[in-house]
Structure 1
């Protein structure tokens, strides 16, 4: 009995349509530690700025939430693709691994691995690929808190969450609409994060830091 090739044919046509909608700006792969909070935030930006889904791919790590696993999954997804997610092999110019410092034991290993991959991988156009860790110390929520407060000293993640809930009542991990709620303060948050980056780096032990400003600024300024 002949096999039904219709599902594969539909998948092929769907992929071709997605590729046909690609914009002229760089193709970006974002892999996050969190399965809801960060993906929701980035997808919200993608919708708000009408970025092409064929150019900006957002996926949570499927290998685990340890920082080094996030980087490893980002590398594997770039190199191997995922036909079930309609992601082609090496189909990006930029790859970002988003994770928190928290109390993760593999945090510094993840930073080193990401740095070792930067410019070493080649995409489907045989171009070197930018590979970057987007780390936050202590957590992603520091980035949101910077929309409301100018943080300059170390904070435990629980304190970050407590303060954030004073500004966004009911906020919790996995919350939707975080970008919509905070976006009016985005320029302020970017400025505060950049000033922190002038004093501290992702490699400092517990000083407040987030590279989120760089990635968010990129996404919000993409143009055809």
Structure 2
């Protein structure tokens, strides 16, 4: 369960051309273990789609990232909180249990976030040995990829990435980044 302060969007009392405009709800807090790629992707998506996002980075285990997200979450500032993590060698089930206890949305990519990026370009369903191998796959579509990215290269492919990610079975490769992206696109 994801902590949410408000269940419905507020309406603006001012109208444009006789139509009422909806105000966007508060920020979405995203905590990620990735230093460059994940923050660049989510901050870029937020700029393009005018989502109100605060991305925090912390290098730690997924379980500790969940606790960190909960410790900095304030209902006055954020509507929901999410952690974006890679499988790596971590105990993801412990992180899932902690996320459930803390009310944090947990987004897991197996083996890593770069799989989500690959899905923007290709319907990749084969096993990926490591994060390094995933980066090599991504570099086929983004020559010179080195963990830094420009979100613009992905924006027109987000919907297809969501579709592809939803179709992947559990295991390697899999990602549920699409869950968070759908939330941000609605914000």
Q: TM-score, normalised by structure 2?
A: 0.80
Asked if 1:103 corresponds to 2:75, the answer is: no
Structure number with the higher helix fraction is: 1
SS of residue paired to 1:34: coil
SS of residue paired to 2:50: coil
Q: Which has the higher contact order (CA 8 A, sep 6+)?
A: 2
Q: CA deviation at 1:207?
A: 2.4
Is the CA contact 1:27–1:91 (under 8 Å) kept in the aligned structure 2? yes
Q: Which has the larger radius of gyration?
A: 1
Asked if 1:48 corresponds to 2:48, the answer is: yes
Asked if 1:168 corresponds to 2:142, the answer is: yes
> 5 Å matches for 1:128-139?
131-139=104-112
Is the CA contact 1:190–1:213 (under 8 Å) kept in the aligned structure 2? yes
Give unpaired runs (5+ residues) of structure 2.
1-22
> 5 Å matches for 1:187-198?
187-196=159-168
Give unpaired runs (5+ residues) of structure 1.
1-22, 79-87, 119-130, 201-205
Is the CA contact 2:82–2:107 (under 8 Å) kept in the aligned structure 1? yes
Q: CA deviation at 1:162?
A: 1.1
Q: Distance in 1 between matches of 2:125 and 2:137?
A: 14
Is the CA contact 2:26–2:77 (under 8 Å) kept in the aligned structure 1? no
Deviating above 4 A after TM superposition, structure 1's stretches of 4 or more consecutive aligned residues are: none
In the alignment, what sits opposite 1:57? 54
Is the CA contact 2:45–2:155 (under 8 Å) kept in the aligned structure 1? no
Asked if 1:181 corresponds to 2:153, the answer is: yes
> 5 Å matches for 1:68-79?
68-78=63-73
Q: CA deviation at 1:135?
A: 0.7
Is the CA contact 2:67–2:102 (under 8 Å) kept in the aligned structure 1? no
Q: What is the root-mean-square deviation of aligned Cα atoms in Å?
A: 1.8
Per-residue CA distance 1:66-95 (angstroms, 9 max, x = gap): 2112111101111xxxxxxxxx56632211
Structure number with the higher strand fraction is: 2
SS of residue paired to 1:151: coil
Q: Distance in 1 between matches of 2:93 and 2:86?
A: 11
How many residues get paired? 164
Asked if 1:24 corresponds to 2:21, the answer is: no
In the alignment, what sits opposite 1:20? none
Is the CA contact 2:107–2:177 (under 8 Å) kept in the aligned structure 1? yes
Q: Which of residues 99, 106, 122 in structure 2 aligns to 1:149?
A: 122
Asked if 1:33 corresponds to 2:33, the answer is: yes
Q: CA deviation at 1:27?
A: 3.2
